[in-house]
């Protein structure tokens, strides 16, 4: 039987400790989902299992002759490719599984896949004889493919294992968290009661000391010592760790007119691809979901709607007061060499303050924007949308590269957004919650 085991592993990136005393075993036939906030060390964990990174302390034990396949979160072959993001992802996955590895380490494998691609990957994972370790933000995918969740705890930098898929993990984690809060509050209340008793008895001892004899004074001192010993016996219960949360607020600065944008007989071309003719009218308050297979032209249609891609034929009419805010799939807005704070634009102090609310601190804003991780670039673009106060959001796979807490915050923000939304997503949970008023296929 083959296996990989991490034993008390510690890894740091620069001065930041990513994993601390982490241990986990990937046995034969394992189906493990890895979850945790961005920057918690999920990719580092996969690279350790794949032998692409070594720990500073601890050991990685691997069965002799074990073959490990690794899918990175972003592939460099994509550059210059005529394939869509989803087509490139599917090709890379097919090549990886054809190699018939003993263990597969997959970093965000569902990124860019369409619904058909997701179902294909689910079958691939379910049928393979090898073990599979998956970092994913796709909750429905985790429910369908894994039997154990490994959580990277942000506060301790350790690993915690939970049986079942995402739904079982989410429910069990909430129960454990509630129980931990109860234990903490009960211990804290008991501690306060005993501390109050100590103060009361100390006061009595001082008062008796003035008028009472030695025996009475000794008795009061004994009561104080007993109360202090009772305080020492109360278990120290740690308060549950409170992680940083994205608090995303999206508010349009103006209503705009009833018409947002209209396409009449629109034809668009990109490279050798042609889409159209299309007739589409988007009105204020619409929540439009656009579906279609990878390569069908969803992103091309979005670019035509916002005016990024000129029409080959037909007509585009922009409504009065319409202000678009686009989160494009490639997250190219911040793929530049200048520091993030400069690329963000506007007064530097205001930019720093807003970016900090999106988890991008003093060190991050001074880095060249292109060095940000995909998740950090996504959060920077969401911060920009919040700053611009647009009245029409155009979101192309917005959950790609976001961690699960941030995805849930995005869902909540979209629930309360009063403007118009155009959404392309293959996140099935997000689509259910989105509440589309219209769905069109391309």
What residue spans define the domains of the chain? 4-156, 174-233, 259-441
Sequential DSSP letters for 133-151: EEE---HHHHHHH-SEEEE
- Mean pLDDT in the chain? 85
Estimate to the nearest angstrom the gap between the alpha carbon of 231 and the chain centroid: 41
| 3-state DSSP assignment of residue 58 | strand
Query: Does residue 259 contact residue 82 with C-beta atoms inside 8 Å?
Result: no
Residues of the chain with pLDDT under 70: 1, 75-76, 78-82, 194, 197-198, 201-237, 239-248
Domain covering 259-441 assigned CATH 3.40.1110.10 in the classification: no
Same fold, 4-156 and 259-441: yes
| Domain at 4-156, CATH homologous superfamily | P-loop containing nucleotide triphosphate hydrolases (3.40.50.300)
Q: Which residues contact 334 (CB under 8 A, 6 or more apart)?
A: 340, 343, 369, 370, 372, 377, 380, 381
Residue 159: CB atoms within 10 A of its CB come to 21
Please confirm whether the linkage preceding 277 is cis (ω < 30° from 0): yes
Q: Which residues contact 189 (CB under 8 A, 6 or more apart)?
A: none
Instruction: Please report the pLDDT score of residue 409 as a whole number.
Output: 84
State how far the Cα of 442 lies from the Cα of 437, in Å rounded to an integer. 17
| 3-state DSSP assignment of residue 197 | helix
Query: Does residue 412 contact residue 248 with C-beta atoms inside 8 Å?
Result: yes
Instruction: Please report the pLDDT score of residue 230 as a whole number.
Output: 65
Q: Residue 47: which of 104, 105, 96, 91 has the closest Cα?
A: 105
Instruction: Please report the pLDDT score of residue 14 as a whole number.
Output: 78
Instruction: Please report the pLDDT score of residue 206 as a whole number.
Output: 64
Instruction: Please report the pLDDT score of residue 425 as a whole number.
Output: 93
Q: Which residues contact 428 (CB under 8 A, 6 or more apart)?
A: 115, 118, 138, 140
pTM of the predicted protein model: 0.75
Sequential DSSP letters for 332-378: GGG-SSSBHHHHH-S-HHHHHHHHHHTT--HHHHHSBGGGS-HHHHH
Instruction: Please report the pLDDT score of residue 231 as a whole number.
Output: 59
């Amino acid at each position: 039987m083959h296996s990989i085991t991490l034993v008390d592993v510690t890894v740091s990136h620069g001065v930041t400790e990513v994993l601390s005393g982490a241990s986990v075993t990937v046995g034969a036939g394992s189906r493990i989902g890895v979850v945790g906030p961005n920057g918690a060390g999920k990719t580092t964990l996969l690279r350790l299992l794949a032998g692409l990174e070594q720990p500073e302390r601890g050991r990685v034990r691997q069965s002799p002759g074990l073959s490990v396949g690794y899918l990175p979160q972003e592939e460099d072959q994509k550059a210059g490719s005529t394939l869509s993001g989803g087509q490139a992802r599917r090709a890379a996955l097919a090549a990886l599984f054809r190699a018939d590895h003993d263990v597969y380490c997959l970093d965000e494998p569902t990124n860019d896949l369409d619904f058909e691609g997701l179902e294909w990957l689910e079958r691939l994972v379910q049928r393979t004889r090898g073990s599979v370790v998956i970092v994913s933000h796709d909750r429905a995918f985790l429910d369908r493919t894994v039997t154990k969740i490994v959580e990277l705890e942000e506060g301790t930098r350790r690993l915690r294992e939970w049986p079942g898929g995402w739904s079982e993990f989410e429910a069990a984690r909430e129960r454990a968290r509630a129980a931990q809060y109860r234990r903490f509050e009960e211990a804290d209340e008991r501690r306060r009661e005993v501390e109050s008793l100590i103060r009361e008895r100390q006061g009595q001892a001082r008062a008796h000391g003035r008028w009472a004899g030695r025996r009475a004074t000794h008795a009061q001192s004994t009561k104080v010592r007993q109360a202090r010993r009772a305080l020492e016996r109360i278990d120290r219960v740690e308060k549950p760790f409170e992680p940083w949360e994205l608090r995303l607020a999206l508010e349009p600065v103006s209503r705009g007119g009833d018409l947002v944008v209209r396409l009449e007989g629109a034809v668009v071309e990109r490279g050798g691809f042609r889409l159209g003719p299309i007739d589409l009218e988007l009105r204020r308050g619409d929540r439009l979901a656009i579906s279609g297979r990878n390569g069908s032209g969803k992103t091309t249609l979005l670019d035509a709607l916002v005016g990024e891609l000129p029409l080959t034929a037909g007509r585009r009419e922009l409504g009065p007061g319409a202000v678009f805010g686009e989160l494009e799939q490639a997250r190219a807005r911040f793929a530049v060499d200048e520091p993030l704070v400069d690329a963000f634009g506007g007064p530097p102090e205001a930019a720093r303050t807003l970016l900090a609310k999106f988890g991008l601190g003093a060190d991050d804003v001074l880095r060249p924007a292109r060095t940000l991780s995909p998740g950090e670039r996504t959060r920077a673009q969401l911060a920009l949308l919040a700053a611009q106060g647009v009245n029409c959001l155009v979101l192309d796979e917005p959950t790609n590269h976001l961690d699960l807490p941030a995805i849930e915050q995005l869902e909540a923000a979209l629930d309360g957004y009063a403007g118009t939304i155009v959404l392309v997503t293959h996140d099935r949970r997000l689509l259910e919650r989105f509440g589309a008023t219209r769905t069109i296929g391309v």
